[in-house]
């Protein structure tokens, strides 16, 4: 059995881990939103314009980012904070038959790009998530989206990786710690949802003021 001293040492270490994570996360959160607030607002206006024109949002990512893709799609399709009509968004991470068929026949790298080519239409948006910015299947999805005429919005970490060359707009978390990058991604995505609702249902003037061809690429 651990001694009382050993228990105290474990407890002290656990509290230190919590405190360090909280302090690093708080500092990163302040810096991230200070640097990216205008970009997030512009991305939300683009999403609102996309949806107002009858188009949809496709979302993809791997691992934790796959869960975030499903999370974000659910906020659009169901609701975020206000009751409003469902908004068309689709996570490309959820259909196990499609994912395994493509993975088995063509390789894991194409599990998203084939779905983009099947479902994406000019005027849609692809929201691509990768903490490294270098996920091979996400990169191919972005290339397919550009081929189809979709607007490409990226959520990345580190320095943006290869994704920064393929996105019309990139919201990058300048950090190398994956858990904190993911925390910033979902915080940014929540604001994307909230501001999209704001532009669609509370601030119609922002959409009305846009040119006929919509928001220009950032």
Q: Where are the alpha helices (DSSP H) in the chain?
A: 4-52, 64-77, 96-105, 113-119, 136-148, 178-197, 204-208
Mean of pLDDT values over 66-91? 97
Per-residue model confidence (pLDDT) at position 205? 76
Per-residue model confidence (pLDDT) at position 207? 81
Per-residue model confidence (pLDDT) at position 218? 45
What element of type H or E holds 170? Answer: strand 169-173
CB atoms near residue 85 (< 10 Å): 8
Q: Specify the range with the lowest mean pLDDT, choosing from 9-13, 49-53, 73-77, 89-93.
A: 9-13
Mean of pLDDT values over 209-216? 68
Q: Could you tell me the pLDDT band of residue 12, with boundaries at 50, 70 and 90?
A: confident
**Alpha-carbon separation of residue 179 from 130, 174, 175 (angstroms):** 12, 13, 10
- Angle at the Cα of 32 (from 188 to 69), degrees rounded to 5? 25
| φ and ψ at residue 125, rounded to 5 degrees | -120, 140
Q: Specify the range with the lowest mean pLDDT, choosing from 18-22, 43-47, 199-203.
A: 199-203
User: Structural domains in the chain?
Assistant: 4-208 (3.40.50.10490)
Dihedral sign, CA of 117, 119, 122, 128? negative
The whole-angstrom separation of Cα 184 and Cα 192 is 12
């Amino acid at each position: 059995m651990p001694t009382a001293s050993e228990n105290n040492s474990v407890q002290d270490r656990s509290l230190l881990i919590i405190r360090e994570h909280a302090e690093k996360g708080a500092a990163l959160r302040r810096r991230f939103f200070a640097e990216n607030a205008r970009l997030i607002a512009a991305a939300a206006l683009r999403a609102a314009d996309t949806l107002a024109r009858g188009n949809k949002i496709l979302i993809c990512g791997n691992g934790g980012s796959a869960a975030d893709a499903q999370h974000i799609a659910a906020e659009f399709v169901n609701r975020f904070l206000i009751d409003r009509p469902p908004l068309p968004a689709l996570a490309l991470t959820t259909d196990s038959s499609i994912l395994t068929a493509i993975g088995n026949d063509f390789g894991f790298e194409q599990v998203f790009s084939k779905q983009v080519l099947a479902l994406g239409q000019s005027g849609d948006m692809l929201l691509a998530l990768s903490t490294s910015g270098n996920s091979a299947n996400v990169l191919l999805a972005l290339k397919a989206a550009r081929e189809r005429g979709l607007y490409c919005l990226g959520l990345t970490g580190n320095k943006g990786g290869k994704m920064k060359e393929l996105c019309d707009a990139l919201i990058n978390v300048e950090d190398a710690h994956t858990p904190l990058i993911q925390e910033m991604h979902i915080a940014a995505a929540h604001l994307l949802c909230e501001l999209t609702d704001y532009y669609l249902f509370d601030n119609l003037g922002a959409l009305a003021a846009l040119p006929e061809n919509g928001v220009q690429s950032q």
